[in-house]
Each structure stands twice: as structure tokens, then as C-alpha cells.
Structure 1
Amino acid sequence: MRLIPRSRGGALVRFGVGALLVILFTAATTAVAGLLQFKTFVADFNQTPPISHAQVTIANPGHPQTLLLIGSDHRAGEPFSQANTDTMMLVRIDPNSSTINLLSVPRDLKVLLPEGGGLATDKLNAAYSIGGPNLLVRTLRQQVFPGLRINHIIDINFGGFEALVNTVGCVYTDVDHRYYNNTALTDYSSIDIQPGYQKLCGSDALAFVRFRHTDTDIVRNARQQDFLRWAKAQFSESELLSNRNALVKVFGAHAETDADLHSLDGLINLFDLVAFSAGHQIKQVPFPAILLPCAPVPTTASPAVQQTPCYVTADPGAEQAAFHAFMTPTKPAPAARGSGSGGHPGSGGSPGGPRGGPGSAQAPGLTADVSDGKAQAAKLGNIGMPVYYPRLIMAGSTYCTDGTCAEGPVPNSYPRAYLIHDQSGKAHVAYRLTLVMNPGAGQYYGIQGTTWQTPPILGSPTQSRTVNGRRLLLYFNAHNLNQVAWRSQGAVYWISNTLTSDLSSQQMIAVAASLARS
């Protein structure tokens, strides 16, 4: 386990800014409320001063915009030298695109930053501590993505994240494995979350998206973007509208933005664009990261000794390809043909799907495994719903047990049977089987079952496909298949991909099609 030390002056903030887009969509839906409502928003935003001399380019009304979303522990009025940022996410909102594009930039990206009158190698997030958002923008533009133009900067602190999540009523989250760390024992950020689909509120949601104790920067970025998708998909416009005033007040109290978002024209320009895109899917563009190994800490070293920095780098050509994909609008997908229905961005209805045809469940890289799945189901026992397990799993993967994957003292995490409460408070039976491919790379996938037939995560399938007589619901994010679900009488089941989508579409469909009742 490689633990990341706390930052000076407080906990090192590592969280996604999914709630930030929720607030933008909320505010945008009030465009019809008129000028008075926007004047109220300006007053709320003015609770904190604007970022001084922000390095932004003001976009013309109706044109695409690129936002830089920053997650930090900075408080307005304090020097940036006492603050840290560990979330840097670019958001592209384009009226000509069928998706809203996201690109998370690793905090550990190796860059050159000013030091002692010259330049020194450092991590990208150090740019924030040295020169605030403006140096961060210049570094991104000069060393990572030449041609990048930021139209707005939005910097939200950890208190704002917790408050926003609680104000929207928390977020149902597909937790891929057990997350545990005891701060009192290790002096690192605490977390105690069991695996399985569940509702996460303020501090637990923050801990989940901050977590990087046993993960890489890339895995954490993927977790943050997934949380954003779950938050956006969970709430209808009417639900957000009912809380809009409280949300905007929270946002104004905890976020720092460029001066244009403190003006009436700037807010209307951005909110009109966001309102137009409110129904669009989220498309995650991966950063082409190459992880540089860390120098090991000597076993005799004092706990106070800092670990040699672990950097992320990337091929410049691959960086430009990712930036091009981020900036390029997604064309609406044509209607799918054959037995599938629906489509997803950049597809003809079934990219990455099995080549064997509509009824096929063939996929390389899988292995038959019946006995271990049966043993997992037997350990669960009679939980009040049928338990299904896969007869095919990824080659080289194994089921997590309390003796192999557990990170904390609480037993019965693997497999896990529990109750989940829906939005009305009604309890439903649920279970989770967790499989691990590579724990160091955050590669956990799982099988989820519940008697809750309408969980938000399964609200909008991209397409469906019938395999072995079973109608499978497919949930794509761009070209990655995140979930494959199917419904039976009284229950719903799904397989969740790893955070970094390590299972191919073929493999996901084949595993789901192999589910058998214990």
C-alpha cells in the first residue's frame, strides 16, 4: 500500500467536481426566469471575490466554451502558497456536439515550473501553489495542450463539494471495492465505505472521490468522472429547479471564478449554452498517461521522510490526440440496426460489440469459473432474492474475499449482502460480488443484484441486445461499456466494468450473458 502524505496546512484535497456541473445545469434551467433571477445569481457569486487577472478568453454568445474546473483547499483571500489542488478537469460544452466532453489532467504530470529565477521539474499541481490558477493555465497551455483556450475558470473548495452533494440529496454511487483507511492509526485521510451500489452523502462522497491511497492518479481521475456522470444522470431538471436557490448560494460561497462570471452578461452567456446542452451525455476523454515508477522508501526511513515524487508523463503526440478528441464535437449516432436498439456517441449502434452477431457471447480473454462463483453465492446464503454469479470471468482475475481484498477490520465485505434505500426511503435487498484483476492499478469489476428495479444508474440504457435469450441493457460512455444489465421478475442485475474500463465490450457482454442462478 502506498499512502500519500497530507498536505501542509490541512488535508490534501482530492475530489471530483461532479457537483459543479450539477449546479451549472441547475442554474441554466432557470434561464426562463428572467433578468431578476440572473441578478440574484450575480449577487450569490459575489460572495467571493473573482480570480485576479484570470487567464481566460471570453467566448462570443452561442459559441463553444472550455471550462477549467479546479478542486482545491484554497479559501478566498488566503495566499495560494498555502493551498493545493488535486483535481484539474477540462469541460468542453459545444452547441454542435451531442456530448459534453471531459478531460481530467493528472495532478502528478511532469512539468517545468519557475524556481529561483529559473525552471525546475515539478508536478502540475505545484503550479497552483506557486502561482494560483493563472500559472496553472499558462502551464497547461504552454507545456501540455498548445492551442488551449480557457473561457472560464471555476475553483471550488472541499466544503463546497460536501455542501453541494448534500443539497442535491446525495448521489447513488457504484462503489467498486472496499475503501478503508483509519486516520487515527496512519495519519492519512480517513475513509470507510463498503462495496456495492449505495447512496453517498457529503463526507463519504468526498472521501470516495478523494481516495488515492492504493490507486494511481489515473484511477482517481476515472472515479471522479464516473461520480460526475452518476450525479448528472440522477436528477431531473424539475428536481434541480426545486433546489436552485440553495445550490447557487452554496456555490457562490465556496467557489472562486473569473470576473466574467461575476457579470450579468457572462452568466447568461454560459448558462444559455449549458441549458442547450443539459440533455447531452457525458463523454470522458482519457489522458494518455505513462506512470513513472517511484523510488522505494528505505525500510529504515523515518515516517517523516517524504517519498520521492512519482510522476506521470505522456507522449506529446498522444497528448495532442487526446486534446483533439476533447475539442472535436461528437456527431449524433445513427439509429442502430438489427437486434440492438439505440446508439451511443461515435458509434453505429454497437462498436466494440461481439463479432459473432446479435446472439453471440464470444470473447477472448475470459476463462470458465463455476465453482468459485457458486462458493460466493453459497456464502451469501438466503438473502431474500435470487443470487446470480458469472460462469465466465476475466482470465487472471479472482473473487475478492475478506482474506484477500479486505482493507479494514470489518468482515463480510466480500461477498456482501445488504439493504439499499431508494429515494422514498424504502429498503431493497442487494448484493455485490467483487472480482479483482490488479489491485495496484485499481482494476476491480463486480456483479450487482438488487430488488430495487429502478436504480438511477440504469435509467437510460444506450442500447439493448439479446444474447442467449436474455435481453441485455448496455450502458456506454463514448466507446467504453460501463455496465451491462438485465431484469428478471422482482430483481435487476448488472456487471460493472473497472473504473478504467479494462474489460472490452465483448468481454462485458459475455460475462453478463453467462450469469447463472445459484
Structure 2
Amino acid sequence: DLRVEIRCPGETPYFDKINVAYSRCGEEGSVETVKALTGLPINYLITINFRGFRRLVDKLGGVWMDVDRRYFNDQGGECDGCYAVINLQPGYQRLTGLKALDYVRFRHTDSDLHRNARQQQFVRAFKDQIRTNFSITKLPQVIEVITKHVEVGEGGGADVSARTVLRYGALAYTLPAGHVFQTRIEGLEGASDLTTATDNIERAIEQFVRPDAEAPQKATSVALGTKRRVKVIPPLETTVTVLNGNGITGSASSASYLLGRRSYAMVYPPNGVPANAPSFDFFETVVFFDRAREGASQAAKRATALFGSAETRPLTPAIRKLSNGALLVVVVGRTFHGRLAAAPVDQTPDRKKAEVAPRQDEALGLLRDVQPRVDFPLYVPKLIERTSRLSSAKPVRDYNMDPKGKHRTVRLVYRTGGNDYWGIQQTSWDKAPVLSAKNFSRTIGGRRYDLYYNGPRLHMIVMRTKRATYWVVNSLLDSLSNETMIAIAKSLRPIGVVSR
């Protein structure tokens, strides 16, 4: 619904909702409109029809998603006030292709901002599904769906090879947890047509192009009021060897030159050995580091940010032989196109007061009613976000979460004064796919918590016990501050030791 300048080929530019570019002008109009808005080159345009969306999700065995609240409408059709049928219960669950499509398309009782957030949530969940549940036996079926229902166009009008598609699938499969960054445009105003200041769009573009990989750690330090104790080795003291891992002539020398311009201390393979990796099969750039040397891991993460699509790994014996003693070895893959990213945009948030209030009574009674149906102790938050109340549509739900139906789970659903929904999930199933995507763990107030970030925003915080896990899940828009999320998690207590 963002109002932008539409660039249709052969037409005078005009202003309308951004999705008009595709409905009226097709692929070329979409690309030109987004290029004009962002100033960025467009590498690929991917289109998928509804049937393809459903089939792709189903071929992967469904997708695990956290549904923030009860969604229900049985009045579909073309009548006044009618909108798409949907019937979803709240809580973390596996959705079929049809259910997932209903969820990501919904926007009737909230806004386009919430729909965009659901779509971004789907992208993260889809990536997690590939990384945790994909098997090679599903590959032929997935390729068939992509061939029939997904169109991928490359910049300049070239066709995208199946090999390229598979490589990006492999990238999603191997990408470590916490390496997906999603950007949103802030300050949007309006109802049907959304507008915002140009500065907000420019800021979102900068964050997209130059993501702050250290934002979660910095945000945690701010929320807890602690100082980060990380040894940071400056580029001048960071020795780097660059190797060609893609087979493209000049890739290693180009990357070496660019890193040298950023003040890195360049080192070359010993004894005049060519600067080639053991193979040319590197699709993504990899920054290898010497784990025995203090600060090497952090230096590798900083260097990785310069390459965009890259990952860090400890030195292997084969790579170490070519390192010539360097702290880092960069093996450039096919995703390196002769450029380094600019310095990341600092997204460290300001410290805020936890906006919480003591309000446990209404949840306590519901949880005591549910306790006999689960085989682990339920916890109640003694503090909740100060404007929140339990949802009137579905305040609590207990159900089987895991595929085999052996583990029960309970979901509390809260609604804020701003019409956002957040929740608390409790389950004895410790293999939920989302739990594998934590950024890091911290000990807070004597308890160990796993923290899950969306950029600088804390989206989920999880406490683990021997019998269960307890999740505090932020709203779709991450409207609860980091400090508020942590305060709620710290206030969780077993219902057996809490009095009204």
C-alpha cells in the first residue's frame, strides 16, 4: 500500500500504490519502479502463483509458524464486507500450503504493515524449514514445483539456470542461525495509501544494504545495562589471505585490493603458490579464522559483513596450508561481484524503561484449569506489557504441537492497547524448529535464556528447564521493547508457587 512513483515503460511516471506497478505494467514495470524508489540494482525478480505457493510449502512438509492470535472468517465471496475465508488457531504450529497462504494474505482487521510482517515471518520460517527438515529425497519434487509454478528472471533479461536456483537453495540450507536480516520502513502513515518521509525510506535502504550484524549483541547490552567485553582487532592488525574459490580470473586479486583499501594487512600464500582455494566450488564467500587466536572469530564476522552473502568457518587443514599465518583467510565465491559493502549502519537502540504492570490473576486461573492436561509445570508471568489484556477471542489454547502428538503445549495470547498481539508459549517439545535459530544465550537474574532477534529488536526470549521450554513471543511488529520482553521473561513463575 506504499504510495510511490510508478515507472511503467512508455508511460509518464505517476503516483499510486506500489503493487500497481506489477498489476498494470508487469515484471518490467515492477523492476523499474523499485529501482527508482531505492536506487539499487535488481538482481532477480521472482514470481509465484498461489497454486505454486501451496504446492511448494506442501512438498517441504509444511512450514512451522508462530500464529499470533485467533484468525477466523467463514464469510467468503464477493458480498459487501466479505473477505477471504480463514480459520487458524493461535500458537506455534505446522501450516499446510493452503493455511500458510491464508495467513500471509490476511489483512482485513489490521493493516498492510501487519501483512508485510506476516510475509517476512513466512520467509524466516521457510528458511528454517529448509535448514532443519529438508532432505535430498524431496529435491526432485521441489524442482518440479519450481519449474511449473515459479518464474525467476535475472537482471538484464537473462534466464536463471536451475544450477543457480539450487545454489541459493543450498545457501538457505547451510546459512547459520541469526544470519537473516530483514528491514522495514518506519514512520508509515495513512490507511488505504501509506506514505512516509523520504528520510525513512533512505534509512531502510541503508539498513538493507549495510546491515548491522552486531545489532543483537549491542541491543542486549543496552537492555541489560552492561558493557560488551569483546576483543576487537582493528583492520590494521588483521592479517588476511584471499583465495579464489569461484574460478573467475581476478576475483582473489580484486578482493585483496579492496580489503587493502579498507586498511587490512594483506598476506599472500607461501612460496609463490597461486592464490587458489583447494576447489572452485564455493558459491558463497567464506571467511575462515584461526580459532586458537583471541579475537579471530569477531574479526571474521566483521570481514564477513563486507561481503554481504558470506559466512564464517574455522580454518580447515587444507586452507591453513595456504594461509601463510594470516588471522583470516577469505575464499571468494560466486556471490562476490567485485564490490565490498560500506560500513554497517549502527542500529544500537536507546535504552528504554520496561513498560510492564503486575497483572497475573486472569492468566493464573486459566492456567490452573489447563495444568491437569499437560505433563510439565506451567508458568505464569507476574508482569505483562502495561496496556495488555488477555485476548477475548482465544486467551489460552492447549494442544499437541509435535508431529507425533506426544508433546502438549499451551499458548497464552495477549492483546496490547495498540491492537498488537504477543504471547507466551509453553511446551515439553524441545525440538521445535524455531528453537534452533537463536542468536545467542545470556544468563539474566540467575536464569539462562536463549535470545532470538530480528535486527536490533528482541522477537523471542526462551527459558529452558529440564522438563519444558517457556517462550515469550513479541508481536508481529515487535512492538514490545527489548526491556519489556526481558522483564516479562524474568517474571515467569510456576503456577504452583504463585498466589493470587
Quote the offset at 1:502 in angstroms: 1.0
CA distance in 2, matches of 1:474, 1:514: 16
AA aligned opposite 2:357: T
The reply to whether residue 124 of structure 1 matches residue 18 of structure 2 is yes
**Which residue does 2:407 correspond to in 1?**
428
Q: After the TM superposition, which residues 107-506 of structure 1 pair with which residues of structure 2 at under 5 Å, given as runs? A: 107-112=1-6, 120-142=14-36, 144-145=37-38, 147-184=39-76, 187-236=82-131, 239-258=134-153, 268=163, 272=167, 275=170, 278-280=174-176, 281-293=179-191, 310-328=192-210, 330-331=212-213, 333=214, 347-348=217-218, 350-355=220-225, 363-384=353-374, 385-401=376-392, 406=393, 413-422=394-403, 425-438=404-417, 440=419, 443-506=420-483
What number of residue pairs does the alignment pair up?
Answer: 366
Quote the offset at 1:259 in angstroms: 6.1
Does the aligned pair in 2 maintain the 1:123–1:311 contact within 8 Å? Answer: yes
- With over 3 angstroms needed to count, the CA separation of the structure-2 counterparts of 1:503 and 1:427, relative to structure 1, is same
Does the aligned pair in 2 maintain the 1:110–1:312 contact within 8 Å? Answer: no
AA aligned opposite 2:27: P
CA distance in 2, matches of 1:245, 1:261: 29
CA distance in 2, matches of 1:243, 1:197: 24
- With over 3 angstroms needed to count, the CA separation of the structure-2 counterparts of 1:139 and 1:260, relative to structure 1, is closer
Quote the offset at 1:272 in angstroms: 4.7
**Which residue does 2:270 correspond to in 1?**
none
Quote the offset at 1:501 in angstroms: 0.7
CA distance in 2, matches of 1:138, 1:153: 11
Provide structure 2 residue ranges, at least 5 long, that are not aligned to the other structure. Answer: 229-351, 496-500
CA distance in 2, matches of 1:436, 1:349: 25
Deviations 1:432-459 (A, max 9, x none): 111111464xx11101011112211111
Farther-moved stretch of structure 1 (489-498 vs 462-471): 462-471
AA aligned opposite 1:375: G
1:515 to 492, 496, 499: 492
CA distance in 2, matches of 1:114, 1:194: 41
Aligned partner of residue 258 in structure 1, secondary structure = strand
CA distance in 2, matches of 1:492, 1:439: 28
Does the aligned pair in 2 maintain the 1:289–1:312 contact within 8 Å? Answer: no
Provide structure 1 residue ranges, at least 5 long, that are not aligned to the other structure. Answer: 1-106, 294-309, 334-344, 407-412
AA aligned opposite 1:192: N
Aligned partner of residue 69 in structure 2, secondary structure = coil
- Greater Rg by CA: 2
Deviations 1:339-390 (A, max 9, x none): xxxxxx56458344222789xxx95211111222313323435222322111
Deviations 1:404-448 (A, max 9, x none): xx2xxxxxx3211112233xx2431111111111464xx111010
Aligned partner of residue 99 in structure 2, secondary structure = helix
**Which residue does 1:50 correspond to in 2?**
none
CA distance in 1, matches of 2:11, 2:181: 41
CA distance in 2, matches of 1:283, 1:259: 22
Quote the offset at 1:193 in angstroms: 0.4
AA aligned opposite 2:57: V
Aligned partner of residue 186 in structure 2, secondary structure = coil
CA distance in 2, matches of 1:252, 1:229: 23
Structure-1-length-normalised TM-score: 0.65
CA distance in 1, matches of 2:132, 2:428: 27
Deviations 1:155-184 (A, max 9, x none): 111111100110000111111100111134
Aligned partner of residue 373 in structure 2, secondary structure = coil
Does the aligned pair in 2 maintain the 1:260–1:266 contact within 8 Å? Answer: no
Farther-moved stretch of structure 1 (370-379 vs 165-174): 370-379
AA aligned opposite 2:493: A
- With over 3 angstroms needed to count, the CA separation of the structure-2 counterparts of 1:438 and 1:214, relative to structure 1, is farther
Quote the offset at 1:392 in angstroms: 0.7
Aligned partner of residue 389 in structure 1, secondary structure = strand
Quote the offset at 1:239 in angstroms: 2.5
- With over 3 angstroms needed to count, the CA separation of the structure-2 counterparts of 1:164 and 1:350, relative to structure 1, is same
Deviations 1:255-281 (A, max 9, x none): 222267997885545655664574142
Does the aligned pair in 1 maintain the 2:153–2:160 contact within 8 Å? Answer: no
CA distance in 2, matches of 1:159, 1:125: 20
Deviations 1:279-330 (A, max 9, x none): 142111112241214xxxxxxxxxxxxxxxx111121122111111111255
- With over 3 angstroms needed to count, the CA separation of the structure-2 counterparts of 1:517 and 1:501, relative to structure 1, is same
Does the aligned pair in 2 maintain the 1:369–1:392 contact within 8 Å? Answer: yes
Aligned partner of residue 180 in structure 1, secondary structure = strand
CA distance in 1, matches of 2:195, 2:7: 15
Quote the offset at 1:461 in angstroms: 2.1
Does the aligned pair in 2 maintain the 1:285–1:325 contact within 8 Å? Answer: yes
AA aligned opposite 1:418: Y
AA aligned opposite 1:355: G
CA distance in 1, matches of 2:7, 2:482: 41
CA distance in 2, matches of 1:416, 1:346: 31
Aligned partner of residue 479 in structure 2, secondary structure = coil
- With over 3 angstroms needed to count, the CA separation of the structure-2 counterparts of 1:183 and 1:351, relative to structure 1, is farther
